[in-house]
Copies of this chain bind each other. A is one copy, B any other.
């Protein structure tokens, strides 16, 4: 694979590389690691890439790589730049014949997302969007339990993602991550809602198989001087009659990355949280709760396919991330080889999730500003 962005000091670039490395299927062969050609060279060298495969710009990378022979040329590109720099390289990659793996949220705004969809549809290429939390085996098990209707019809969905790292005006002190994520020119119209709200939204729709139909949002900028929201709570109405609530906040001082979800159905409920990601608790209306654990034989094929080690040896965030990379890579190889991709391989987030994520941002910000209670979720 090649990489756009993710030079030194970039948090998420290193995460992507570790995720890509883990299973030995994917090799980083080239990159344009910075918009500054010199910085890109330095980063590429630190990654032990040959100098001629470290490019000064992504445009140059696509142009040059295209000329390389099969097997040597990168198979796909991983784009890990800030939000405002997602669309252009993704478009260019697709138009030059490269499949794309893209960090979330998909684009700068919904209009870009729709444009990218047209481009993707024309290109016939694959796109994977890194909604990491869907890579956890017990999240997949939860989805499968709902899909098989073991708990009956869904009634309530509560999802929350509290973080504390933006409790102070961190962007004032030159912290790189805080700087771009709170900057409307780079992050888009939303701060917390785009950064982590979209993850919570995606997790709820992924597991439940439902879609948000109406929302009512309370969106706040809590820290003085901040330009984007750092906190929001949203009442949700789903299709098929379920309702729920989502909150995402970056000013929950003392919280780390505490994303978690509860779904309640007619016969019972399920509970998952990242902090104990290898467990899935099923609570029953009239019998003892059960603790399902990663790595066990009793799990569904979807969960088991995404476990690497025996039960009780914890897997975590990088493994979930690696599941996205691996499933995308396996699907891509099947396509390249003309073989049939397993359902388990094709289970990674893509364009549809990207569109809905960008719609979430626009709807939730609009609802936050509105005096009317319920807002239709428009795409």
Contact status A256-B293, CB under 8 Å: yes
Apart from A162-B262, A252-B269, A314-B317, what 16 extra A-B contacts exist at CB < 8 Å?
Answer: A24-B28, A156-B222, A168-B285, A216-B216, A218-B243, A233-B235, A253-B269, A254-B268, A255-B312, A256-B310, A256-B312, A275-B314, A288-B290, A288-B298, A313-B316, A371-B374
Contact of A149 with B by CB under 8 A: no
8 Å CB interface, A150-208 against B = 151, 155-156, 158, 160, 162-165, 167-168
Instruction: From B245, B255, B277, give the contact of A269 (CB < 8 A).
Output: B255
User: Which residues on A are within 8 Å of B, measured CB to CB?
Assistant: 11, 14-15, 17-18, 21-24, 28, 47-48, 151, 155-156, 158, 160, 162-165, 167-168, 216, 218, 220, 222, 231, 233, 235, 237, 243-245, 247, 249, 251-258, 262, 264-269, 274-278, 281-293, 295-298, 308-319, 370-374
Q: Which 7 A-B pairs have the closest CB atoms?
A: A256-B312, A254-B283, A257-B312, A314-B316, A313-B317, A288-B290, A253-B285
Contact status B251-A264, CB under 8 Å: yes
Contact status B312-A275, CB under 8 Å: yes
Instruction: From B257, B262, B286, B370, give the contact of A297 (CB < 8 A).
Output: B286
Q: How far is the CA of A317 from the CA of B11 in the complex (A)?
A: 22
Contact status A314-B274, CB under 8 Å: yes
